[in-house]
Amino acid sequence: MSASPPVNDTPFNRYSTLLAIKVLKRTRPSIGGVLMLTDKLCVKYGRRIHLSEASTMRFIAEHTSIPVPKVYCAFTHSERTYIVMERIKGHMIGRGWPKRPDQSKAELLSQLAKYITEMRQLQPPEGMGVASVDGGSVFDIRLPGPRDSFRLGPFDTVQDFHRRLRLGVGPEIEHDPEIQTLIEQHSKSWPLVFTHGDLSSLNILARDDEIISIVDWETAGWYPSYWEYTTAQQVNPRNPFWANEIYKFLQPMPEELAMERIRQRYFGDV
């Protein structure tokens, strides 16, 4: 069950949202699973959508200066979750990136670095483990978990999270030397950092030389400090150029990336 609360879940908001989708879904544009209801409103909905995404956007808006869509209402109905939010008028940052002047690229990446630094300075609640913003399960289609929901956890400790990523493999028996090294690396002390989890150029919206929103917070939560960098390195095939820009807004972690690639080779796809 969700640990995240609904937002403005009134009968009027529910009815209006469900009716709007029914009437408009065949005529209004839909981008990445988000239906554009009006020039100012959009709704993200489906069985894999989770209330924690709405909680995350509200948390980020309240505790940082990072621009995120405003959430107007969020609720679950008939096993589907609906998040009605502000429609952002901007373009994916990667649009025309190869032709963008170097000074413009530098300005945008500098803004992004500032926002990410701000997010990484957030402190987890006492006793928090690897979890969503509200202490619930985490989501990522690349995680080794149940294919029907792609949700795992929450985990009391980073070590519990790592053991799950290794599909339960622990140090109790002798393993291949690479796996032994991976277990040792996973057993280190890793600080928890609030993490977007998918800092693809597809999820950063810009207008001219200004970042106007970071979107798609479904994979966000409290994760070990390397997680943002290693997930950003899983570059979407639609934006291969982005691999050359990641180090400009995230501190490179080559050892941690090598660690994750070993884990990927033996235990999963993330």
Average pLDDT over residues 157-164: 96
Is residue 72 predicted with pLDDT exceeding 80?
yes
**Amino acid code (one letter) for 65:** S
97-156 pLDDT, tens digit each: 999 999 999 999 999 999 999 999 999 999 999 999 999 999 988 776 666 678 999 999
- Asked whether 186 and 83 are in contact (CB, 8 A), the reply is no
Whole-angstrom Cα distance, residue 166 to residue 162?
A: 6
Whole-angstrom Cα distance, residue 160 to residue 149?
A: 20
Question: Tell me, what's the pLDDT at 173?
Answer: 81
Is residue 75 predicted with pLDDT exceeding 60?
yes
> Each residue of 43-72: b (16+ CB within 10 Å) or e?
bbbeeebbbbbbbbbbbbeeeeebbbbebb
Is residue 270 predicted with pLDDT exceeding 50?
no
Domain architecture of the chain: domains with CATH? 11-86 (3.30.200.20), 91-267 (3.90.1200)
Question: Tell me, what's the pLDDT at 145?
Answer: 67
Write down the pTM of the prediction.
0.94
